[in-house]
Structure 1
Amino acid sequence: MIPSIRLTDGRRSGPTDRPHPAGDRERRTEVRDERRTEVRDERRPSSEGPRSPIRSDRAFAPIGVVLLILLTTVLAGGSAVLVTGAVDPIDPAPTATLSLSVQDRTVTLTNRGGDALSIPDLRIRIRVDGDPLREQPPVPFFSAAGYEPGPTGAFNSAGTTTLGPGERASFRIAGTNDPVPEPGSTVELRVFDGEQPVARLTATAA
């Protein structure tokens, strides 16, 4: 018979009270499983609160994009207004009734009525039978290549350079220019104020 030993806590220890290794492993496994379950439960997202702020942020994102687009459009419109307002308006071209005559290579322009023409602001281009003169008249001038010196009226830089209503001015094409108008030639004269056309006149050379 195996004697029993009394322990300090009052229990008896005997052969049947020895710890069973297999039972201990099972208990440790159960403890680990319970801890893993608790960890998974803590990491598992709740269906009630935590996701609500995320959904709210996503809902505000499209509103922010729309506001940004509106702000960009307003700024672009303001810039366009500033640029447009900074451009000076173009002055209208003068309005006048003009007539043209060509006699023995002398070209005469007459203002029959309307606005006075400032000759330094004008460009004159001449064609003879459809071909442009090699040397165009640099009005006003006193002496220029391709023209006889001493034009008259407002074409002469030494005098008044304004061709008012009832006034005329003339210059004579030199024989060294090309093509030289001959009797029967069609002479076309165009008047420009800067880049704006003022008149287009034709005459038959006499």
Structure 2
Amino acid sequence: MTAGSDRDRSGTTRAVSPIIGVLVLLALTVCLAAVVALGVSGLALESPEPTASFELAVDGDRSSITIDHVAGDAIDVEDLSVTIAVNGTELSQQPPVPFVGASGFDGTPDGPFNARADPEWTSGERAGLSVAGANSPGISAGDSVTVSLAVDGKLEATLETTAT
């Protein structure tokens, strides 16, 4: 066989399949890496919203509302907004949680709704407040009370009960 010839001793041309095979495997590896990179970057880039469970109790005689955080993620009360409605009508003044002494509410709230408390509302903690008589509509036994909790403007829970 002479130098520079593409023929082996039997007179047939050499196969280029090993080179093609390596190039195909390299191309597949690059494509697979690109698919994995796109998949990973498509995963939740923003932090997931908190998920928690609550229980609502309303005492119509005292116009007090208590909310128990029964399970789930901790809630930063500084990012929380609370909307209270009685028989489908929102209170004229909503609680600016966290707070200490707010118009439309008697005294200071309990638990994480109190501005002097730890702002992280964790499972097992109870928050409470008392609606002032000047806030309308008033709460009486038998009224339907709805409390909506939103974190950073996203609805976390809507709780409803009948005042006792």
Q: 2:58 matched to which residue of 1?
A: 102
More off after superposition, 141-150 vs 158-167? 158-167
Please state how far the C-alpha of 1:159 moved relative to its aligned partner. Answer: 1.6
Cα deviation, 1:17-74, whole Å, max 9, x if unaligned, reads xxxxxxxxxxxxxxxxxxxxxxxxxxxxxxxxxxxxxxxxxxxxxxxxxxxxxxxxxx
Which sections of structure 2, spanning at least 5 residues, go unmatched?
1-40
Q: TM-score, normalised by structure 1?
A: 0.56
Provide the alpha-carbon RMSD of the alignment. Answer: 1.6
Q: TM-score, normalised by structure 2?
A: 0.70
By relative contact order (CA 8 Å, sep 6+), the higher-ranking structure is 2
Task: State how 1:112-127 maps to structure 2 within 5 Å.
Answer: 112-127=70-85
Q: Distance in 2 between matches of 1:165 and 1:129?
A: 28
SS at match of 1:97: strand
Q: Name the aligned partner's letter for residue 94 of structure 1.
A: P
Find out whether 1:197 has 2:152 as its counterpart: no
SS at match of 2:105: coil
Find out whether 1:174 has 2:132 as its counterpart: yes
In proportion to residue count, which structure has more strand? 2
Q: Distance in 1 between matches of 2:46 and 2:91?
A: 30
Task: State how 1:118-157 maps to structure 2 within 5 Å.
Answer: 118-157=76-115
Q: How many residue pairs align between the two structures?
A: 120
Q: Distance in 1 between matches of 2:161 and 2:49?
A: 23
Cα deviation, 1:136-159, whole Å, max 9, x if unaligned, reads 010000010000121110010012
